[in-house]
Amino acid sequence: MSSDTATAPSPTADLPKQYHHKEPEARWYRFWEEKGYFQSDPDPRRTPYTIVIPPPNVTGALHLGHALNNTLQDILIRFKRMQGYNALWIPGTDHAGIATQAVVERRLLQEEGLSRHDLGRERLVQRIWQWKDEYEARILTQLKRMGCSCDWRRTRFTLDPICARAVRHTFFALFRDGLIYRGKRLVNWDTYLQTAISDDEVFHETVDGHFWHLRYPVIDPAPGEPSHVTVATTRPETMLGDTAVAVHPDPAAALDRAAAELRNRLAAAGDKQRAELEAELAAIEERRQRLLPELLALRDMARAGRMVLLPLVDRPIPLILDEWAKPELGSGCVKITPAHDPNDYEVGLRHRLPMINVLQPDGTLNAAAGPYQGLTIAEGRQRVVADLERLGLLAGVEARQIDLAHSDRSKTPIEPYLADQWFVRMEQLAQSAIDAVTSGRVQMFPPRYAQGYIDWLSEKRDWPVSRQLWWGHQIPIWYCRTASETDLRRAFPNRPDIAWRRDEENAQWLICSRDEDLPSDAVPGHELVREQDVLDTWFSSALWPHSTLGWPEPTPELAYYYPTSTLVTSRDIITLWVARMVLTGLYNVGEVPFRQV
């Protein structure tokens, strides 16, 4: 009889009439742990089977979804272990930057009446670490009570020193290779959390709203020309940031195309759709008679470089020609607010328009809003509408249901917002992740979910990775305005762990350090200022399969267990997490992070 069997709990005691699971489960789990049955070490004589746990956020307790997912993982690990594989299940937790900071800030406000600014960065981060320690212990206890057979010696946290080193190395390599850049871009801004969030962290909700029709005076109209241009908006307070009014370059042709499309649909329509399509076609023809002469006049005025006066702030702005203006919709003209609307931003880029941000990070109006500075969005909207009405420049208001973007993190409305952000260039990285699935190196089950993964990556949208938070991996960039490149070479001679790049737009150097935080006087005679933003939570999570195995160090675990075998996860994070793990695994290690999803 083996020593293991000899020390096992005795089964000879009288069986109770009812099974009380708590005591025997705790006893047997303790026995399994003491015997090291869940532990795995590299052994070239055996075949590895590896799973990395999708790390739960340290925002609270586990829920039913975690129970299901971890049960499936435990089944796979135990099955492979019994088949003789050297089975490793790596546990860990995620710092969950936005979510964790938000929950701690709410608790701080409710219990102590304090904001993060009252505490300051260092003290708030200390509070969040205390929260993390409490809730991580709770999460790991829950996993053990479920019977999860993880190798607890290898428990990782996305902000621990091993994962932090992987994050620094990855950011540095991407910066060095020109795949990370800083730029002023229109982002989804969460005014409650005061940070940018990605498109994938936004949900849309239909809400009751209004269309306000505003009249902008034409500057020095000639006889027979329109004296005003009418535009419509669902957010009148943003008109303070308008920098142009657009009219279609060929409104007659645009109306012809709209009418032709309706006729084609009418020809193929059934009886139920015909009446509605006929009404739309009649409306196009009515617009042709009523609006086309004025739109043609405005087109000619735009060609001549004419201006309109932006009400309330009395700023001259140009009439421009752009196909974003739709003659078949509204007045046929559209106000252009490049700093607060994604479509207007694109128009602004095409026409090199000024981009005037009228919001503070907290959602109040800033100095560019003139007399409305300091008002909230709701207050500003009310005041702007009232003042336009007083001036006779409010043409009308109509009730509408509008599609409003919300932050999935704070559940508050999103504001399009022009801000300096850090981005990862996705063209090359996304293609490598697409190829990994289309070639079969990564298989998805059920296979139908592969298409959504490929479609999302095929957009190749650059990934905004900076967040205006205090909890997370602080971006390892230092700014220097006064040094020359010669000064940098002298300060960092033969330093492969330091890279720099010129930011011409802001007349400064961007200095990236891979291994150490730089002091402010690292360049003698010049001041270095640290970037305050942290990285998106998904940046560190994307490294999970190889950072948990010790990368960037060439550890025995990385050589033996990577790539891992199977990932069990939820379909709703295939793009947010799975795709990014594939592309970072290929970039850092040169191999996919797992074979099956």
Strand residues in 175-295 grouped as ranges (E): 180-190, 195-197, 202-217, 228-233, 244-247
| Per-residue pLDDT, 364 | 95
| Per-residue pLDDT, 6 | 46
From the list 439, 522, 452, the residue with the least C-alpha distance to 480 is: 522
Over residues 319-362, the pLDDT tens digits come to: 999 999 999 888 899 999 999 999 999 999 999 999 999 999 99
Over residues 372-424, the pLDDT tens digits come to: 999 999 999 999 999 999 999 999 999 988 889 998 878 889 999 988 899 99
Q: What is the mean pLDDT of the chain?
A: 92
| Per-residue pLDDT, 262 | 85
Whether the predicted pLDDT of 453 surpasses 50: yes
pLDDT category at 8 given cuts 50, 70, 90 is: low
Yes or no: say if 279 and 239 are a contact pair by the CB < 8 Å rule. no
SS3 readout for 69-118: HHHHHHHHHHHHHHCCCEEEEECEEECCHHHHHHHHHHHHHHHHCCCHHH
| Per-residue pLDDT, 2 | 45
| Per-residue pLDDT, 281 | 86
Backbone angles phi, psi at 198, to 5 degrees: -80, 165
Cα separation, 390 vs 494, whole angstroms: 67
Yes or no: say if 404 and 377 are a contact pair by the CB < 8 Å rule. no
Whether the predicted pLDDT of 279 surpasses 90: no
| Per-residue pLDDT, 1 | 40
Yes or no: say if 551 and 166 are a contact pair by the CB < 8 Å rule. yes
Whether the predicted pLDDT of 4 surpasses 70: no
Q: What percent of the chain has pLDDT over 90?
A: 75
| Per-residue pLDDT, 482 | 95
Over residues 471-487, the pLDDT tens digits come to: 999 999 999 999 999 99
| Per-residue pLDDT, 259 | 87
CB atoms within 10 A of CB 485: 10
Over residues 533-586, the pLDDT tens digits come to: 999 999 999 999 999 999 999 999 999 999 999 999 999 899 999 999 999 999
Helix (H, G, I), strand (E, B) or coil at 457: helix
Domains of the chain, each with CATH number or no CATH? 28-162+537-596 (3.40.50.620), 174-201+419-438+460-534 (no CATH), 202-415 (3.90.740.10)
Cα separation, 488 vs 480, whole angstroms: 10
| Per-residue pLDDT, 102 | 86
- How confident is the model over 172-185, as a mean pLDDT? 94
Backbone angles phi, psi at 417, to 5 degrees: -150, 130
Yes or no: say if 401 and 208 are a contact pair by the CB < 8 Å rule. yes
Strands 180-190 and 156-157: unpaired
| Per-residue pLDDT, 594 | 97
Q: Which residue has the higher pLDDT, 272 or 148?
A: 148
Cα separation, 243 vs 345, whole angstroms: 11
Cα separation, 364 vs 191, whole angstroms: 9
Cα separation, 218 vs 306, whole angstroms: 8
Q: Which residue has the higher pLDDT, 430 or 328?
A: 430
Over residues 134-143, the pLDDT tens digits come to: 999 999 999 9
| Per-residue pLDDT, 270 | 80
Cα separation, 329 vs 218, whole angstroms: 21
95-110 core/surface letters (b: 16 or more CB in 10 A; e: else): bbbbbbbbbbbeebee
Phi-psi region of 470 (alpha: psi -120 to 50; beta: other; left: phi over 0): alpha
Cα separation, 461 vs 580, whole angstroms: 13
pLDDT category at 60 given cuts 50, 70, 90 is: confident
Over residues 115-132, the pLDDT tens digits come to: 888 899 999 999 999 999
| Per-residue pLDDT, 340 | 93
